[in-house]
Amino acid sequence: MDKIAFVYMGGDEFEWLFFEVYDRVNRYLRDVGLGVTLVYAGRIKLPPGMLIRVETEDGYVKMYSFEAVVEALYGKLVEMKNSVNDDSFTKIFGITTLPIGSRKQYFEIYKKYLGIEVSIGNYNVLVLSIKPFYTENRELFIERVFKGVLHELGHLYGLPHCNNDCVMNPPEDLREWDLRAPTYCNPCLMELKRKLKPKPPLLHRAYGCSHC
């Protein structure tokens, strides 16, 4: 079973959403027979200094710094791995309540991210911002974020974008995202199962003397 630490990064307002998505993703992964599970790894409170203010046509928007989020999650993963003495924890997934942005070098231009997957040595850090998915419709909000988590998990295990009715098919807008089936299509699911299939142990042939 591949374990992924799952972390909430935000205020109290959307903590309920985090746990709803956490439960739903784990049920889905179990029901479709994928050997992956999310493990609750607590909460990270980012200090105000990790916020950046980006000027847009609609005014200033608050974002978490891409670099700060990745560093905080990487530190949390190392801390968790050492505290439970479990070397199998090599992946961490953070859910943020604010958008994530990064300033281009030498320019006051910010790139905005919805989801991120970064490899640091043998570790994988994933992040998803729930802000772009917000709606007052509670169930729709949960489903949008649920599909976003599945999308990022698909990329983690090597799935490319897909053209089917599938969470790996990136939408043009939220209307399209709402119409996407909340699941992997059959080809994507089969590919995930292939990639996650445990490798058989190496067989060691024993040699003996027939006269003994």
pLDDT score for 168: 96
d(CA 11, CA 25) in angstroms, rounded, equals: 21
pTM of the model: 0.85
Amino acid letter for position 105: Q
Q: How many Å apart are CA 111 and CA 203, to the nearest integer?
A: 50
Domains for the chain: give ranges and CATH numbers.
Answer: 2-196 (3.40.390.10)
How confident is residue 194, by pLDDT bands cut at 50, 70 and 90?
very high
Rounded to the nearest 5 degrees, what angle is found at the Cα of 188, between the Cα atoms of 77 and 193?
A: 65
* Residue position matching structure tokens 């374990």: 3
Q: What count of other Cβ atoms lies within 10 Å of the Cβ of residue 201?
A: 6
pLDDT (tens digit per residue) in 95-140: 998 887 766 544 454 555 567 788 888 899 999 999 889 999 999 9
Half-sphere exposure for 193 (CA within 13 Å, toward CB): 13
